[in-house]
């Protein structure tokens, strides 16, 4: 129950879905959580849930993708909990369309949240860790099977998620000298994001995981969280620059 005792963790997009799952799992392990979301009610609801189980959490409302939000995340962590050890760049959206129909707006929205957001948040947290000589910093990025294999209708999302892999590998090399480990996971789980896929392709996706993945299951957020707890902990000090699929084996895409 104490694997993250005294650790301060910022999780973006933690008001729902996978991010909420990470927040609850990490709070149960003793971490203090900065719960970010651009939907205030969602973030505040997760904070209430964590406090109801005697955990530590504070909300930080704001859209990921701006320097203002990145700076606010760090300022909130420092003000409430004194420091920050871990950043989970989880906030994400989809703007699916076939390549020939994709609008510039759909392209730019995805790049802003996933790539610009991951870059800016990481920069802000890492500066704080270096300036204050914080030990055992961790950056955990969220890529996707789409970033590893590509996906029809997701040229924008697949490109951004592949870019996050490049950022993860590059930052892992640059930041090892400060004791910061940088890893990414490629999850698969039923959330609002997958439920928003139109019914026929959604069912095809779920069936594919149920029948063809090695573990034969489309996951739930609770299936993914344990790996994040490990990566956020001090135990993960000899692993960096890795992309870990937490998707029941995704060699099926």
- Residue closer to ligand NAD by CB (options 16, 134) is 16
Listed in sequence order, the DSSP H helices in 29-93 are 40-52, 67-81
Biggest CA–CA distance in the chain, Å, is 51
Please name the residues in contact with 248: beta carbons below 8 A apart, sequence gap of 6 or more: 188, 209, 213, 214, 215, 216, 217, 218, 219, 223
Nearest to residue 219, comparing CAs of 242, 196, 243, 186? 186
Residue 177 Cβ vs ligand NAD, minimum distance, rounded to whole Å: 28
Q: Which of residues 94-113 bind ligand NAD (CB under 6 A)?
A: 113
- Residue closer to ligand NAD by CB (options 37, 96) is 37
- Residue closer to ligand NAD by CB (options 45, 179) is 45
Return the residue of 55, 92, 137, 248 that touches ligand NAD, per CB under 6 A.
92
* Alpha carbon distance 41, 35 (integer Å): 11
The sign one gets for the Cα dihedral 105, 109, 110, 115 is: positive
Q: Which of residues 169-198 bind ligand NAD (CB under 6 A)?
A: 187-189, 191-194
Q: Which of residues 3-42 bind ligand NAD (CB under 6 A)?
A: 12-13, 15-19, 36-39, 42
- In the residue annotation, 157 being an active-site residue is answered as yes
Residue 14 Cβ vs ligand NAD, minimum distance, rounded to whole Å: 7
Nearest to residue 55, comparing CAs of 19, 85, 81, 36? 81
The catalytic site residues sit at 157
Provide the binding-site residues for ligand NAD, judged by CB under 6 A.
12-13, 15-19, 36-39, 42, 63-65, 90-93, 113, 142, 144, 187-189, 191-194
């Amino acid at each position: 129950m104490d694997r993250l005792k005294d650790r301060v963790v910022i999780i973006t997009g933690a008001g729902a879905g996978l991010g909420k799952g990470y927040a609850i799992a990490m709070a149960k392990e003793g971490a203090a959580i900065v719960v970010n979301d651009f939907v205030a009610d969602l973030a505040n609801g997760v904070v209430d849930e964590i406090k109801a189980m005697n955990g530590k959490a504070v909300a930080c409302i704001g859209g990921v993708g701006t320097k203002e939000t990145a700076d606010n995340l760090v300022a909130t962590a420092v003000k409430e909990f004194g420091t920050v050890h871990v950043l989970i760049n989880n906030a994400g959206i989809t703007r699916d369309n076939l390549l020939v129909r994709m609008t510039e707006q759909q392209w730019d929205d995805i790049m802003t949240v996933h790539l610009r957001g991951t870059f800016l948040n990481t920069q802000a947290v890492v500066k704080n860790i270096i300036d204050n000589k914080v030990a055992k910093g961790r950056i955990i990025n969220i890529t996707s099977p789409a970033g590893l294999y590509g996906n029809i209708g997701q040229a924008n999302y697949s490109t951004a998620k592949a870019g996050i892999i490049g950022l993860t590998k590059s930052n892992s090399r640059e930041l090892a000298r400060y004791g910061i480990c940088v890893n990414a996971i490629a999850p698969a789980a039923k959330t609002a994001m997958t439920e928003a896929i139109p019914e026929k392709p959604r069912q095809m996706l779920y069936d594919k995981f149920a029948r063809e993945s090695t573990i034969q299951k489309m996951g739930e957020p609770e299936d993914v969280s344990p790996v994040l707890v490990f990566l956020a902990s001090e135990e993960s000090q000899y692993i960096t620059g890795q992309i870990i699929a937490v998707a029941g084996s995704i060699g099926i895409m």
